[in-house]
């Protein structure tokens, strides 16, 4: 019976944290819509990691 109350309180705490963080998340999403996209800053490190993993697999 105790675990039911603990689960309910944990769920309530999770909801309260979500509502508390909502304004900041909303502002972050709005800022990201207005910022210029920089895909090369994402693609280059991902390709480097993929090449490194393939190199490690080839070494085995």
pLDDT, tens only, 1-55: 568 889 999 999 999 999 999 999 999 999 888 888 888 889 999 999 999 999 9
Pairwise CA distance, residues 56 & 58, whole Å: 5
| Assigned token pair, 47 | 């390709």
Which of these, 36, 56, 59, 37, lies nearest to 48 by C-alpha position?
A: 56
Nearest 5 degrees, angle CA 8-CA 21-CA 4?
5
Distance CA 55, CA 49 (A): 10
Write down the pLDDT at residue 53: 98
């Amino acid at each position: 019976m105790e675990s039911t109350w603990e689960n309910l309180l944990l769920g309530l705490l999770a909801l309260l944290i979500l509502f508390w963080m909502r304004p900041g998340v909303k502002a972050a999403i709005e800022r990201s819509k207005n910022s210029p996209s920089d895909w090369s800053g994402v693609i280059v490190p991902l390709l480097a990691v993929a090449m490194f993993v393939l190199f490690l697999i080839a070494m085995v």
